[in-house]
Amino acid sequence: MKNKKIIIAIDGLSGCGKSSTAKLLAKEMNYKYLDSGAMYRAATLYIIENSIDYKNLKKLKNILDEIRLEFIKENTSDSYQIFLNNKNVEKKIRSKKVSELVSEISKISIIRKKLVKMQRTIGDNKGIVMEGRDIATVVFPDAELKIFMQADINVRAKRRLKEFEKIGKKISLKEVKLNLLERDNKDSSRKDSPLKITSDSLILDTTSISLKDQIEFIKKEAKKIIN
Ligand code: DC
pLDDT tens by residue, 201-225: 999 999 999 999 999 999 999 999 9
Average pLDDT of every residue of the chain: 93
Cα–ligand 1 centroid distance for 132 (angstroms) = 6
Which of 48-52, 94-98, 129-133 is the least confident region?
Answer: 94-98
Name residue 203's amino acid. Answer: I
- Tell me the mean pLDDT in the region 129-158: 97
d(CA 183, CA 164): 17
Domain range summary for the chain, segments of one domain joined by +: 7-215
Q: What pLDDT shows up at residue 164?
A: 85
Note the pLDDT of residue 80.
84
Whether the Cβ atoms of residue 62 and residue 115 lie closer than 8 Å to each other:
no
Atom nearest to 94 CA in ligand 1 = 4
Ligand 1 environment, Cβ below 6 A:
14, 36-37, 40-41, 102-103, 106, 132-134, 183, 187
- Other CB atoms within a 10 A radius of the CB of residue 2 amount to 7
| Span from the CA of 60 to the centroid of ligand 1 (angstroms) | 19
Q: What's the pLDDT score for residue 177? A: 95
CB 216 within 8 A of CB 210: no
Pairing between β-strand 80-84 and β-strand 69-73 as defined by DSSP bridges: antiparallel
Assigned CATH topology for domain 7-215? Rossmann fold (3.40.50)
pTM: 0.93
Alpha-carbon 219 to chain mean position:
20
Centre of ligand 1 from the C-alpha of residue 3, in Å = 31
Contact between residue 73 and residue 80 where contact means Cβ atoms under 8 Å apart? yes
Counting from 1 in the atom list of ligand 1, the atom nearest the Cα of 190 is: 15
User: Quick one: pLDDT at residue 169?
Assistant: 81
- Backbone CA torsion sign across 74, 77, 79, 83: negative
